[in-house]
């Protein structure tokens, strides 16, 4: 980074550091307040969903969970088969069907079954319920069914998990089983056994599950956001005791209806209950209790990171049809029929082996279609399958701590303010907000993918955009103030149209100073002390004459884009290339010097006519890198330049006297403007305090405007100068004498002739062809 740029950055930080900090802080507080007021919830949901899909989607299918789908093809196949219609009826099918499915899944080697539905209505055929219960007992297949909560349900008694099981039952009489190749309709007339009689304690023990929080926080309430209490709806009594367990399957959707999160345990104020996947996994992992400790969920020896509220976001990894192997319910039923008939099954023998089976509806007609980040029409069972898969071998998505979100928000706001208030670059001001939002989106997605952490995006984005807008407003205010200052500061020293051009092009000078190459102009009136002596008794007349002279010279310079630096008595100091950058500053300075010379010649004629003293003017022009900026004290400061280049320009002006020239320019000026000017090489000189010699030139005219007579004089001068540098003073003098006779008014010819004659009379002890310019 260039030192000048770094100085600008430091200067802006020093002057505007507190506003930057204040803008970031205010933007952060506003964004935080909006988030707390839930004004950003919908935006955050959209951003989260997009990041989840883009960065976590496309995961391979699960190898631990298989979905048995109650799809439209199953419903159609059963409704179109008379025998199946007689046995199982229409949806919702008799529980005899689920007995057959349980038998087939057990035979196929399923590890456990989660049925994403409720069975809280007693069948009109009580024997079907009892037969289903008997089938579950005989197969020993872990089978778990959902339960819903309702405001109309009655509260259960408090479950005492330490007491003996108070289940008093007349044991259900064995339900006769059909031979392997027959259907249950042959047994419809069999006497139905009596259902079990459950005590209130037994019902509570069957539905509730021990849950504790060791951090002192309360469990989520079944009441949710409603004021009416809700309690679990018990399943049909025939299934309690036969089922392995029951869990809540209430829809856990956000306000927009999308399922993004789940909680693992609830309370109704009397008992604690767990969700259906947790209930099943507790048994599979040998856990007798669910424990929530801070941000950790414990099931036996297994732990998962969760949020402070006891919930977590679901890492779907993709839509249902790509994440979990699926098979239709009819295919499983067909395999049971084939197996009971002694035939080979159609499904792959390894499909269910050691897998957890999720049974649920996928048909639109079953009214279990929900929205997830991956699709607005996903079967509700995708949530249960995802939770089970994560509990088996995955990680939930958890929210970053509030301090992290707030810290990121402040950081984004601060970076936005500092960047825009420091750079003040229009393309960056336009591009930064979308780049900021894209960057936050990528950050959110990467963290979701790599660490399963959800960092808020909407709140930092709002703070960043807000800080950006405030920074732009501040920049606009500062720019207006700087523009006004520039206009006031430079209108006296530059043509107003040049000042406005500088402002429009945003070439505002760095008032704190910078190193840059410029061309300096110095002019002075010959014999001004004598000049002023004539007006000792009339100083006002001197002022009028001097003002006329300075206005004439300044006007010529301003028309070429020069910036008047200062007046030192009769002397004029002008800068080209600052404060407004000018690539052709050397050419402009040369044109300005020639224009000033011409204007002064006209003025001299006028002054002679009025009887005023002569204003013969000498000019020095030099190009070099100087330090330009505001200099001075607390009481007075001005825009000027300092450096060796300025000193040389001043000395070149004075050196005209020694060479009889009017405009002397330095070597760098000649190098930059040589294609546009006519010059005479005057000499090689050494400035006081310097050892290196430089070549100086007399500026004569613009390119192509030198008359033939002057061109001849310049050629003879160069010829004599070559002889002079070889110390051939007599030969040089002869050339110069001839030219002096022809052009007696040419000052440099006469001055060089004087030196040659002087050296002929008193030869120098050591001659190197270089003249010394004293102060």
CA distance 152 to 229: 9
Matching residue, tokens 């004075």: 654
Domain residues for the domain of 539 are 507-679+690-698
Write out residues in the chain with pLDDT < 50, as ranges: 1, 4, 169-182, 184-192
Q: Are residues 520 and 590 in the same domain?
A: yes
Q: Are residues 651 and 756 in the same domain?
A: no
CA distance 7 to 510: 10
Which of 373, 396, 419 finishes a domain? Answer: 396
Nearest to 194 by CA among 175, 216, 218, 172: 172
Q: Are residues 471 and 619 in the same domain?
A: no
CA distance 403 to 406: 5
Q: Are residues 606 and 477 in the same domain?
A: no
The answer to whether 109 and 354 have CB atoms below 8 angstroms apart is yes
In a domain, 296, yes or no: yes
Matching residue, tokens 């704190």: 512
- pLDDT of the residue at 704: 94
Q: Are residues 741 and 763 in the same domain?
A: yes
Q: Are residues 71 and 88 in the same domain?
A: yes
The answer to whether 235 and 145 have CB atoms below 8 angstroms apart is yes
In a domain, 536, yes or no: yes
DSSP string, 135-203: HHHHH---EEEEE-EETTSPPPPPP-TTSPP----PPPPPPPPPPTT--GGGGTTSPPPPPPP--HHHH
Q: Are residues 360 and 457 in the same domain?
A: no
Chain segment 220-258, per-residue pLDDT in tens: 999 766 678 899 999 999 999 899 999 999 989 998 999
In a domain, 684, yes or no: no
Q: Are residues 390 and 417 in the same domain?
A: no
Q: Are residues 325 and 428 in the same domain?
A: no
**What are all long-range contacts of 11-20, with beta carbons under 8 Å and residues at least 24 apart?**
11/512, 12/421, 12/422, 13/418, 13/422, 16/421, 16/474, 16/478, 19/417, 19/421, 19/474, 20/414, 20/417, 20/418, 20/421, 20/471
In a domain, 637, yes or no: yes
Which of 363, 396, 429 finishes a domain? Answer: 396
- pLDDT of the residue at 10: 65
In a domain, 15, yes or no: yes
- pLDDT of the residue at 581: 82
In a domain, 119, yes or no: yes
Which of 396, 420, 444 finishes a domain? Answer: 396
- pLDDT of the residue at 501: 55
- pLDDT of the residue at 157: 95
Q: Are residues 79 and 35 in the same domain?
A: no
In a domain, 600, yes or no: yes
> In terms of DSSP bridges, do strands 65-70 and 356-361 run parallel, antiparallel, or are they unpaired?
parallel
- pLDDT of the residue at 710: 95
In a domain, 253, yes or no: yes
Q: What is the CATH number for 618?
A: 3.30.70.1230
Q: What is the count of structural domains for the chain? A: 4
Q: Are residues 250 and 341 in the same domain?
A: yes
Q: Hey, how many other C-beta atoms are within 10 angstroms of the C-beta on 537?
A: 7
CA distance 583 to 507: 13
Question: Quick check: pTM over 0.75?
Answer: no
Chain segment 68-92, per-residue pLDDT in tens: 999 999 999 999 999 999 999 999 8
Q: Are residues 62 and 10 in the same domain?
A: no
């Amino acid at each position: 980074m260039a030192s000048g740029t770094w100085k600008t950055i430091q200067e802006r930080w020093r002057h505007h550091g507190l506003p930057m900090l204040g803008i970031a802080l205010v933007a952060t507080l506003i964004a935080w307040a909006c988030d707390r007021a839930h004004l950003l919830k919908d935006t955050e949901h959209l951003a989260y969903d997009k990041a989840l899909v883009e960065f976590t989607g496309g995961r391979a299918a699960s190898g631990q969970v298989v979905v048995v789908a109650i799809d439209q093809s199953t419903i159609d196949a059963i409704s179109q088969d008379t025998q199946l219609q007689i046995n199982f009826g229409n949806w919702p099918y008799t529980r005899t069907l689920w007995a057959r499915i349980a038998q087939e899944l057990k035979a196929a080697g399923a590890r456990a079954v989660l049925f994403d539905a409720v069975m809280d209505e007693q069948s009109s055929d009580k024997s079907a319920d009892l037969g289903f219960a008997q089938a579950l007992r005989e197969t020993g297949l872990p089978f778990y069914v959902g339960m819903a909560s309702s405001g109309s349900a009655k509260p259960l008694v408090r479950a005492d998990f330490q007491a003996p099981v108070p289940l008093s039952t007349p044991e259900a009489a064995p339900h006769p089983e059909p031979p392997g190749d027959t259907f249950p309709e042959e047994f419809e007339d069999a006497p139905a056994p009596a259902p079990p009689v459950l005590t209130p304690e037994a019902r509570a023990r069957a539905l509730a599950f021990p849950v504790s929080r060791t951090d002192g926080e309360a469990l989520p309430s079944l009441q949710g956001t409603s004021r009416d209490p809700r309690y679990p709806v018990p399943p049909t009594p025939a299934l309690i005791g036969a089922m392995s367990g029951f869990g809540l399957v209430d829809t856990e959707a956000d306000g927009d209806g999308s399922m993004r999160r789940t909680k693992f345990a609830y309370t109704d104020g009397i008992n604690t209950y767990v969700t259906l996947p947790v209930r099943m996994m507790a048994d599979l992992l040998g856990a007798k209790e669910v424990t929530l400790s801070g941000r950790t969920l414990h099931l036996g020896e297994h732990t998962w990171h969760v949020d402070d509220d006891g919930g977590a976001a679901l890492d779907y990894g993709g839509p249902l049809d790509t994440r979990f192997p699926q098979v239709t319910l009819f295919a499983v039923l067909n395999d049971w029929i084939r197996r009971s008939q002694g035939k080979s099954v159609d499904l792959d023998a390894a499909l269910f082996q050691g897998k957890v089976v999720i049974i649920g509806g996928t048909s639109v007609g079953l009214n279990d279609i929900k929205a997830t980040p991956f699709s607005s029409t996903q079967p509700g069972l995708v949530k249960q399958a995802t939770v089970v898969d994560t509990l088996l071998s995955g990680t939930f998505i958890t929210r970053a701590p509030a301090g992290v979100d707030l810290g990121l928000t402040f950081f984004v706001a601060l970076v936005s303010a500092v960047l825009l208030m420091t750079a003040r670059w229009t393309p960056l001001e336009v591009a930064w907000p979308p780049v900021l939002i894209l960057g936050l989106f990528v950050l959110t997605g990467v963290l979701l993918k790599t660490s399963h952490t959800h960092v808020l995006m909407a709140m930092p984005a709002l703070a960043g955009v807000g800080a950006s807008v405030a920074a732009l407003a501040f920049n606009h205010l500062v720019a207006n103030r700087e523009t006004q200052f520039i206009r006031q500061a430079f209108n006296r020293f530059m043509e107003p149209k040049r000042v406005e051009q500088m402002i429009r092009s945003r070439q505002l000078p760095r008032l704190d100073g910078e190193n840059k190459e410029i061309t300096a102009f110095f002019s002075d009136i010959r014999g001004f002390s004598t000049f002023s002596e004539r007006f000792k008794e009339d100083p006002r007349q001197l002022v009028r004459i001097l003002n006329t002279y300075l206005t004439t010279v300044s006007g010529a310079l301003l028309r070429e884009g020069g910036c008047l630096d200062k007046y030192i008595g009769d002397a004029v100091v002008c800068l080209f290339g600052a404060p407004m950058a000018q690539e052709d500053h050397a050419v402009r300075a040369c044109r300005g010097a020639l224009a000033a010379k011409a204007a002064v010649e006209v003025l001299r004629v006028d002054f002679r006519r009025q009887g005023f003293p002569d204003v013969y003017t000498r000019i020095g022009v030099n190009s070099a890198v100087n330090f330009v900026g505001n200099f001075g004290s607390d009481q007075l400061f001005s825009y000027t330049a300092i450096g060796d280049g300025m000193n040389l320009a001043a000395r070149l002006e004075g050196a005209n006297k020694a060479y009889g020239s009017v405009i002397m320019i330095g070597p760098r000026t000649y190098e930059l403007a040589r294609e546009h000017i006519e010059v005479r090489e005057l000499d090689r000189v050494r400035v006081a305090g310097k050892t290196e010699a430089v070549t100086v030139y007399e500026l004569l005219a613009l390119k192509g405007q030198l008359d033939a007579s002057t061109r001849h004089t310049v050629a003879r001068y160069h010829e004599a100068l070559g002889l002079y540098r070889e110390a051939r003073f007599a030969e040089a003098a002869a050339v110069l004498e001839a030219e002096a006779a022809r052009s007696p008014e040419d000052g440099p010819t006469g001055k060089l002739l004087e030196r040659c004659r002087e050296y002929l009379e008193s030869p120098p002890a050591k001659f190197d062809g270089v003249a010394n310019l004293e102060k």
